[in-house]
Structure 1
Amino acid sequence: MELTNWAGNVRFRASRIANPATVDDVREILTGPGGVRALGSGHSFSLIADTDATLVSTAGLVSEPRVDPDARTVTIGAGVRYGDLARALEAQGWALSNLASLPHISVGGAIATGTHGSGDGVGTLSSAVAAIELVTATGDVLTLRRGDAAFDGAVVSLGALGIVTAVTLDIEPSFEVRQRLYERLPLETALAHFDALMGAAYSVSLFLRWTDPDVVDQVWTKSRGEDAPAIPGDPAPATESLHMLAGVSPEACTPQLGVPGRWLDRLPHFRLSHTPSSGAELQSEHLVPRRHAVAAIRAIRELADDIAPLIQVTEIRSMRADSLWLSPAYETDAVGLHFTWLPDQPAVEAVVAKIEAALAPFAVRSHWGKLSAMTAAARAAVWPRLADFAALSRELDPEGRLRNPYLGFLDEL
C-alpha cells in the first residue's frame, strides 16, 4: 500500500517503513545501515520527511503524560497528538498555553517544523519545549534541556539531528476560553489598527477569502476573560456558528458565540473528534517580523488576482518572539500569512513563488513543513543561525544519514 501524507500531494518513496514503540527500537533502527527520516502525523505539505530509505513513523512513540507540578512541565512521547495530550492534562487540572488550529498533529512533528498557534503574548508550540530527548544517527540517546548550549538549535530540528523520542513541555493551570467571531471587517480598517486588532484577545485570527480583496471576511477571537473584545471598526458579531470556508458546515469547528469552555475545546479551530477536511488542499505559510506585517499584507493584496482563483482561505495570525534558531519567530515577534489552496500543485507553486518574491523585502520566513520555493541563500539571509544549525547537524550526523533532498540546502552552508 502506497504511503502518502495527509493531503496526498507527497507519496513517500521509502523502501522500508519502521514503526518503533520504544527508545530501544529507535536505537536499533539507527544503528543499522542506510538513510533514515522521521514521520510524524503526516500533516506537512513539503518533502521534509521523504526518503528512499527507511521512514520511521513516530506514531507508536507514545506514553502516559508525566506531570511535574513543581516544575510546571509534562513529559510525553514524541508521537502523542496534541489533542490527546490536552485531554490528559485537563483531567489533572493542567493546560498548555497554546494549541495549533488542528489538535490532530503530533507533538514531535509540530515542534520539528516550527508549527505555531496564535496570540500576541503566546509563543510558538516549539517555545513551550523545556527539554527534548532524541536518538542521534549513531544510536546515542541525547537529552537537551532549556539553557544547554545546543538546546536552541535542537528544538526546531527538521529531523536533521536525530529521531525525537520524548518531549517535556511547559504547562499552566487549566483555564476557560470564549470564542467569538465577527464578519466583514474592511481590510483598510484592519491594517490601520493592526496592533490593536491582533491584541484584542488572547488569540486572534483574520480570515480572507479574496472574493472581495478589500474585506477581512471573518475575525476569530479567543478570550480568557468574560468581556467581549473591542474590535476596531466594530464589525458585526456572528450570530451563528461559522466555518472559515464559504458554504462549509461548522460542525467540525470548536464552539463559538462566546460560550465559555475548556481551553482545549476553544484554542484549536477544529474539534479532535472531527476531521476538518478531506485533505484535498495544499498549504503554504509565510511569516514576517511584526514590524513589517502591514506592508507585507499590502504586498499580498497586490497579488489578489493571482491568489483568488486558487485560494480556499488565507489566515493571518501572530506570535511572540523566541530564541530557537530555526523558529519562524526567532528573535522577532512575527505574523504568519497562511494560505490554504486548492489542490493544483503546479499552479499553486507558481503563485507561492510570486508571494515569496513579493515578501522578500520583509525578511520572510516560509514554514518548513509547507510549500515553498526559498533557496538556501534566501533561508540563510533570514535565519542567521542556519549555518550554526548545519554545523550541529554535521556534528550529530557526520555521515548525513538523516539528510534527504529537502535538506540539501544545509550542504550549501
Structure 2
Amino acid sequence: MRADGRTWRNWGGTQKATPTRVARPADAAQVADLVADTAARGGVVKPVGAGHSFSAIAVADDVQVDLSAMRGLVRVDGSAVTLRAGTHLYEIPRILAPYGLAMANLGDVDRQTIAGAISTGTHGTGLRFGGISTQVTGVTLVTGTGEIVTVEKGNPDLAAAALGLGALGVLVDITLECVPEFGLRAVEAPAALDDALDGFTDRVADTDHHEFYWFPHTECALTKSNTRIDADTPRSGPGRIRRYVDDELLSNKLFGVLCALGARVPAVVPAIAQLSGRALGARTFTDRSSEVFVSSREVRFREMEYAVALHEVPDVLREVRRMIERRRYRVSFPVEVRAAAADELMLSTATGRTTGYIAVHRYHRDDPADSDAYFAGVETIMNAHGGRPHWGKMHGLDAAALRGRYPRFDEFLEVRNRFDPVRVFANDYLRRVLGD
C-alpha cells in the first residue's frame, strides 16, 4: 500500500486510487481546516485507515487523509477509553493493559485502525456480542462544514456515527466501553461439515465465541470455540514454537505456497483441499483474549461477506456448496462462518436481527474472471435470503437494494444530510450504496 500522492492500493489488491494530495493531520483542528478548505473549493476528502477494506469505501480521488499521526490514548474514565482515530487495533491491548481493561470482542484481524474498523462494521463472533461499533459510546468527528462535533451516548445520532461508512465526517477520536481484562480457552477441532452446520445454532448459543471454517471440495470443517476465563488463568497449551509452526509456517507460509500452486494449476485445488482437510488436528490452549481472537493473515486474498438471519446459515451454506460443485469453481480458501447479537445501529449488518455471517474468499492471484463469477454466484444466493453485505468487503448492491434490507436506512440518510450537506466525503462507492 502507498499513500504518497501517487498510486495507492489496498491490502487485498482490489482497489487503487491516485489522490491529488495526501494530508497527514496531527489533530482535530488541522482536520477541520483541511475539510473547510476542501469544501470551499468543491473538493472531496476521504480518510483511508489501514487499507484493509476490499470494497471501494476508502478510495480517494482528491484528498486522501492519513491519520497515522493521530494515534494513541486520549483518556481513561473508568471503563470508558478514548482513543485517537488512527490507532490500530493491534496497538489497543498494550494501551489497555495498564488499566486492566480489554475490548469486549474482536475479529480475527487486527491490522485495521479503530476508525476504519467501526466505519465498515468490523465484527468478531459470539451470539452475546455485537460488532466493534456496538462498543462505541462516543465519537468526535469533523463534519462536512468543518465543524468539530462530539456525539455521545444518549444522542440518537450515535446510532449513525458509530458505524458511519466515512459518510458523516472524519473521525478524530473514539470512546469505547471496555471490560475487565479476560482470558480465553480456545478449543479447535476438526468436524464433518454437516455436523458443523447442524450444530451451529446450538453451539453459538452455548459458547461465548464459536465459528467454523469449511474447506470447499471437502466435507471437512475446523471448529473454533472460545470460552471466556479469568485474566489470571495461566497460559497453557502448545508452546510458542508449536503455535508458530501451526499459525505461521503451516497456516501462512505453506498455505501461501499451495494457493500459488492452485492459481497456476486450478485442477489440483480439490486434491490440495482434501489433503488440507485430512491434516486438520485438534488443539486446546489458553491465553489473553487478544492473543486468541486474532490470527495472523499473511496470504493475500479477496473477500465477500454477507450477513443473514442466524437460522438460515445452514441452508445458505449448503446452497453455496452446491453452486461451487455445479459450476466447478476451484476455491483454495476456506469459507468462514460466524454469528453476532442483534443491535440497533442504523447501518449495522446485525441491526434488528440475530445474525449469522458467511465469508467467502479467493486467493488474490486466482484468475480474476473466475473469481468474479464465483463472488457473483455467492451474491445471488445471499440476495435470495435478504443478505446484508459487509461494508468493507466486496459486493455489488446499490441504495435501491440496500434500503429494503435496512429498516433505518432513511434515518441514516437524514443524519448524513445534516453532517455532510454538500457531500465533502462522497466517493463513487458511497454514491452507489447511499444514493445521491
Query: Is 2:406 the counterpart of 1:383?
Result: yes
**Equivalent of 1:327, from 327, 332, 348?**
348
**Equivalent of 1:189, from 195, 202, 217?**
195
> What 5-or-longer segments of structure 2 have no aligned partner?
1-5, 231-236, 257-281
What is residue 394 of structure 1 aligned with on the other side?
Answer: 417
1:126-141 equivalences under 5 Å are 126-141=133-148
Q: What are the Cα deviations for residues 83-116 of structure 1, in whole angstroms up to 9, with x where unaligned?
A: 2111111232111111111122110000000010
Alpha-carbon distance between aligned partners in 2 of 1:251 and 1:91, rounded to the nearest angstrom:
37
Shift of 1:307: 7.5
Alpha-carbon distance between aligned partners in 2 of 1:189 and 1:411, rounded to the nearest angstrom:
39
Query: Aligned with 1:260: secondary structure?
Result: strand
What is residue 299 of structure 1 aligned with on the other side?
Answer: 319
Report the more deviating stretch, 363-372 or 304-313: 304-313
Identity of aligned residues (%): 26
> What 5-or-longer segments of structure 1 have no aligned partner?
227-236, 271-275
Query: Is 2:376 the counterpart of 1:350?
Result: no
Alpha-carbon distance between aligned partners in 1 of 2:82 and 2:390, rounded to the nearest angstrom:
26
Alpha-carbon distance between aligned partners in 1 of 2:251 and 2:51, rounded to the nearest angstrom:
27
**Partner letter of residue 143 of structure 1?**
T
Alpha-carbon distance between aligned partners in 1 of 2:432 and 2:205, rounded to the nearest angstrom:
36
Alpha-carbon distance between aligned partners in 2 of 1:74 and 1:80, rounded to the nearest angstrom:
12
Shift of 1:365: 0.4
**Equivalent of 2:217, from 205, 211, 215?**
211
Q: What are the Cα deviations for residues 45-76 of structure 1, in whole angstroms up to 9, with x where unaligned?
A: 1111112110111222213252211xx21000
**Equivalent of 1:222, from 219, 226, 230?**
226
**Partner letter of residue 209 of structure 2?**
S
Alpha-carbon distance between aligned partners in 2 of 1:159 and 1:382, rounded to the nearest angstrom:
20
What is residue 199 of structure 1 aligned with on the other side?
Answer: 205
Alpha-carbon distance between aligned partners in 2 of 1:166 and 1:38, rounded to the nearest angstrom:
13
Q: For the Cα contact (< 8 Å) 2:342–2:350, is it kept in 1?
A: yes
Query: Aligned with 2:432: secondary structure?
Result: helix
**Equivalent of 1:53, from 45, 56, 62?**
62
Shift of 1:30: 0.4
Shift of 1:308: 4.6
What is residue 431 of structure 2 aligned with on the other side?
Answer: 408
Alpha-carbon distance between aligned partners in 1 of 2:251 and 2:86, rounded to the nearest angstrom:
34
TM norm structure 1: 0.88
Shift of 1:136: 0.4
User: Are the structure 2 counterparts of residues 269 and 202 from structure 1 closer, same or farther at C-alpha, using a change threshold of 3 Å?
Assistant: farther
Alpha-carbon distance between aligned partners in 1 of 2:252 and 2:140, rounded to the nearest angstrom:
41
Q: Which structure dedicates a bigger proportion of its chain to helix?
A: 2
What is residue 229 of structure 1 aligned with on the other side?
Answer: none
Shift of 1:163: 0.2
**Partner letter of residue 8 of structure 2?**
L
Query: Aligned with 2:370: secondary structure?
Result: helix
Query: Aligned with 2:175: secondary structure?
Result: strand
What is residue 16 of structure 1 aligned with on the other side?
Answer: 21
Report how many aligned residue pairs link the two structures: 389
**Partner letter of residue 224 of structure 1?**
R
What is residue 7 of structure 2 aligned with on the other side?
Answer: 2
**Partner letter of residue 189 of structure 2?**
Y
What is residue 294 of structure 2 aligned with on the other side?
Answer: 268
**Partner letter of residue 347 of structure 2?**
L
Report the more deviating stretch, 294-303 or 334-343: 294-303
What is residue 231 of structure 1 aligned with on the other side?
Answer: none
What is residue 392 of structure 2 aligned with on the other side?
Answer: 369
Query: Is 2:338 the counterpart of 1:317?
Result: yes
Q: For the Cα contact (< 8 Å) 1:210–1:308, is it kept in 2?
A: no
Query: Aligned with 1:335: secondary structure?
Result: strand
Alpha-carbon distance between aligned partners in 2 of 1:133 and 1:308, rounded to the nearest angstrom:
46
Query: Aligned with 2:65: secondary structure?
Result: strand
Shift of 1:197: 2.3
Q: What are the Cα deviations for residues 182-230 of structure 1, in whole angstroms up to 9, with x where unaligned?
A: 01x1222222222222234321121112131x332x111211249xxxx
Shift of 1:382: 0.7
**Equivalent of 1:159, from 166, 181, 198?**
166
Alpha-carbon distance between aligned partners in 1 of 2:192 and 2:322, rounded to the nearest angstrom:
16
Shift of 1:352: 1.6
User: Are the structure 2 counterparts of residues 411 and 371 from structure 1 closer, same or farther at C-alpha, using a change threshold of 3 Å?
Assistant: closer
What is residue 103 of structure 1 aligned with on the other side?
Answer: 110
What is residue 282 of structure 1 aligned with on the other side?
Answer: 302
RMSD: 2.5
Alpha-carbon distance between aligned partners in 2 of 1:201 and 1:21, rounded to the nearest angstrom:
42
**Partner letter of residue 324 of structure 2?**
A
Alpha-carbon distance between aligned partners in 1 of 2:98 and 2:226, rounded to the nearest angstrom:
22
Shift of 1:40: 0.7
Shift of 1:261: 1.6
Query: Aligned with 2:109: secondary structure?
Result: coil
Alpha-carbon distance between aligned partners in 2 of 1:251 and 1:363, rounded to the nearest angstrom:
33
Alpha-carbon distance between aligned partners in 1 of 2:66 and 2:162, rounded to the nearest angstrom:
19
1:1-150 equivalences under 5 Å are 1-33=6-38, 34-69=43-78, 72-150=79-157
Q: For the Cα contact (< 8 Å) 2:252–2:298, is it kept in 1?
A: no
Q: For the Cα contact (< 8 Å) 2:7–2:19, is it kept in 1?
A: no
**Partner letter of residue 51 of structure 1?**
A
User: Are the structure 2 counterparts of residues 187 and 52 from structure 1 closer, same or farther at C-alpha, using a change threshold of 3 Å?
Assistant: same
